[in-house]
Amino acid sequence: MSSSPNTTHLNRLAQATSPYLLQHKHNPVDWWQWGPEALAEAKGSNRPIMLSIGYAACHWCHVMAHESFEDEATAKVMNELFVNIKVDREERPDIDQIYMNALHLLGEQGGWPLTMFLTPAAEPVWGGTYFPNVSKYGRPAFTDILREVSRMFRDEPGKIEQNRAALLARLADRARPEGKVTFGLAELDAAAKQLGNAFDTVHGGLRGAPKFPQPAILEMLWRAGLRTGDVRFFETVEHTLERMSEGGIYDHLGGGYSRYSVDDKWLVPHFEKMLYDNAQLLELLALAYQRSGNALFATRARETVEWLRREMTTPQGGFSASLDADSEGEEGKFYVWSKNEIIELIGPEAGGFFMRHYDVSDEGNFEGHNILNRSNAPPRSAADEERLKALRDILLDARAARVRPGLDDKVLADWNGLMIAALVNAGIILDEPSWLVMAQRAFDFIAGSMSKGNRLGHSWREGQLLFPGLASDFAAMIRAALALFEATGERRYLDQALRWQGAFDMHYADAETGGYYWSADDAGDLILRPHSTADDATPNPNAVAAQNLLRLAVLSGDDKWREQADRLLEGILAVAARNMFGHVALLNALDLRLRGAEIVCTGPDAERLVQAALKLPFVDRIVLRAASSADLPATHPAQEKLKAVSGNAAFVCAGERCSLPVAEPGDIALAVAAMRH
């Protein structure tokens, strides 16, 4: 450097007219406005320029400002090494266009905040969007970037362009320090490929027997498809769902999926039906139908909800836990058929037609009996399907007269939470408003009859509540509350989620990992507090909680929840690295953290925008209604968005970058896609 930097630490934004620039007037950064004076300072001091472009309603602009520009230590590095220029893109779209184009030409993704490094002559060299203040998820810390860019200007000024690759390599090393477990998008993609390669290409599911549905793994592959655009991930999931939905693990007469199949073809189930399996599969069926248009998935989803309504809903509106495998002391007796039984019910001609389609024979396919399945069924016309449905209804009515398997009618808060969210998420995709009504009724029962103050119980039966609840109860019911809030905009659901989250943090938090113990601090009948981070047949509560915290940050407007999610994710990822596939649900939460689309819809006709936003895959979108300022707390950062527009607008942020506002419902999906590619 030929001369020392200006030492009169002066933030020059107090004279600005832009509300966005005025938001930064008290930063300890020596900000300049764009203009001849700033450019002259860069040339005179022979310092590169750090150009920061944003706008007032940009969420991640505010986050970076809070983390880095308000931080004295970060500002000191900025002031020493760079001339720092702040630009409001709405005030100077010309500057924004030049440097956003430059970012695209450098092969980087665009969006705001836009962070560009320029030569003293204002020539673009390298940049990005949001940078964290500390290294996380495979991303270097902002101060590491500042020092490395400055070093290259100082030591290799003539080779800046050629050394861009070397710069990126050095920053990648900084983002993955030795001795620290680092998970980012690259690691998520590698894990998904490894898991995808373990799938059975003929029958679907993980290779071998027995075969379990593994919904968290299917969701992981689905997210990888959304993230990478590689259709093989989607096809693996859809193939598995199709084989399950045509196999014997599915109840072709009554709806619903059994726990698992004992063989590798999904033919012979362990005949019990669990609420949690069907909840998780319901969401996956809806996603698969939305992408593929395969009517099988929508049909199975509707049949499964009909089973839930008919056989699993308690008089109070909650959902029963499970159905036994056995009846009359024999596993599966309620569900299997002989050839003669079918012929007696529907006659030889119709019986022959039905049996060809459902694999029924004299010798049977299971211990001399027949498990109905369509794994190898002949092609069917629409007329065939109608006829088969009528015949199935006859058999279902006849089956109802048999001795039924035992119903475990206790209501578990955690399993109900999974089903409530599934009814909401699948109901939106499949346009089934009655599912939302079912979800609301179950939610109200649990919030009313399975709670004491702000705390949940775990199990309810015949007026008796097992209290206190488990971490899984809080995680699943908070998730259910947030799904209902996104779907309806009714503030009571968000308020309830916040109350439960407060109790969850008070009584279950593990300060060491940032996660949660399974049991409450005042559950007095345990010799120690269990603490597991691995998934079971249901996602681990820590993983569910991480997603909840990320949604709470957007929906409540309080970034403390995102910071808490980061502590939880980073604390448990260190453990997960030793058993990655036992922590798939946590990796799904990390995907939401890195790619989740935050969509704030405002204006007098905001609901049209909301409905379009809700139709995006629910695994990686968060939708907030803000038709007017009265819909949000006064401190909510989206208040800035309301001030920024007079009509209808959706503000879209994804992957810590924000787009410009969009006014048409059809443009929301395009804006989200643009932010991710």
Q: Any idea how long the chain is?
A: 677
Span 534-559, average pLDDT: 96
Q: Distance (Å, rounded) from C-alpha 119 to C-alpha 126?
A: 10
> CA 10 → CA 33, 34, 260, 388, 571, distances in Å?
12, 15, 67, 79, 39
Span 97-120, average pLDDT: 88
Q: Distance (Å, rounded) from C-alpha 362 to C-alpha 385?
A: 24
- What is the Cβ-side half-sphere exposure of residue 342, based on CA atoms within 13 angstroms? 30
Span 489-497, average pLDDT: 97
Over the stretch 276-293, which tens digit does the pLDDT of each residue have? 999 999 999 999 999 999
Q: Distance (Å, rounded) from C-alpha 397 to C-alpha 285?
A: 26
Q: How much is the mean pLDDT over the chain?
A: 92
Closest by alpha carbon to 257, among 304, 203, 322, 325?
304
pLDDT of 177: 66
90 versus 272: the higher-pLDDT residue is 272
Span 363-384, average pLDDT: 96
Q: Distance (Å, rounded) from C-alpha 419 to C-alpha 301?
A: 12
Over the stretch 598-640, which tens digit does the pLDDT of each residue have? 999 999 999 999 999 999 999 999 999 998 888 888 888 888 8
Lowest mean per-residue pLDDT among 96-110, 188-202, 210-224: 96-110
Residue 152's pLDDT band (boundaries 50, 70, 90)?
A: confident
Residue position matching structure tokens 């475990």:
408
Span 86-97, average pLDDT: 88
**4 pLDDT more than 70:** no
Closest by alpha carbon to 375, among 199, 198, 205?
205
Pairing of β 621-626 and β 597-602: parallel
* Predicted structure pTM score: 0.90
pLDDT of 644: 79
* Percent of the chain residues topping a pLDDT of 90: 78
pLDDT of 170: 63
pLDDT of 6: 41
Over the stretch 167-215, which tens digit does the pLDDT of each residue have? 556 656 666 666 666 789 999 999 999 999 999 999 999 999 999 999 9
**H or E element, residue 449:** helix 433-449
**90 pLDDT more than 90:** no
Q: Distance (Å, rounded) from C-alpha 237 to C-alpha 213?
A: 11
Domains of the chain: 13-175 (3.40.30.10), 335-401 (no CATH), 596-677 (3.40.30)
CA angle, 599 as apex, 596 and 600 as ends, to 5°?
145
pLDDT of 457: 96
Over the stretch 415-472, which tens digit does the pLDDT of each residue have? 999 999 999 999 999 999 999 999 999 999 999 999 999 999 999 999 999 999 999 9
pLDDT of 56: 84
Over the stretch 653-670, which tens digit does the pLDDT of each residue have? 998 899 989 999 999 999
Lowest mean per-residue pLDDT among 4-8, 39-43, 133-137, 478-482: 4-8
Over the stretch 226-244, which tens digit does the pLDDT of each residue have? 999 999 999 999 999 999 9
> CA 488 → CA 128, 225, 428, 611, distances in Å?
36, 28, 11, 10
Span 525-538, average pLDDT: 83
Closest by alpha carbon to 546, among 489, 495, 453, 482?
482
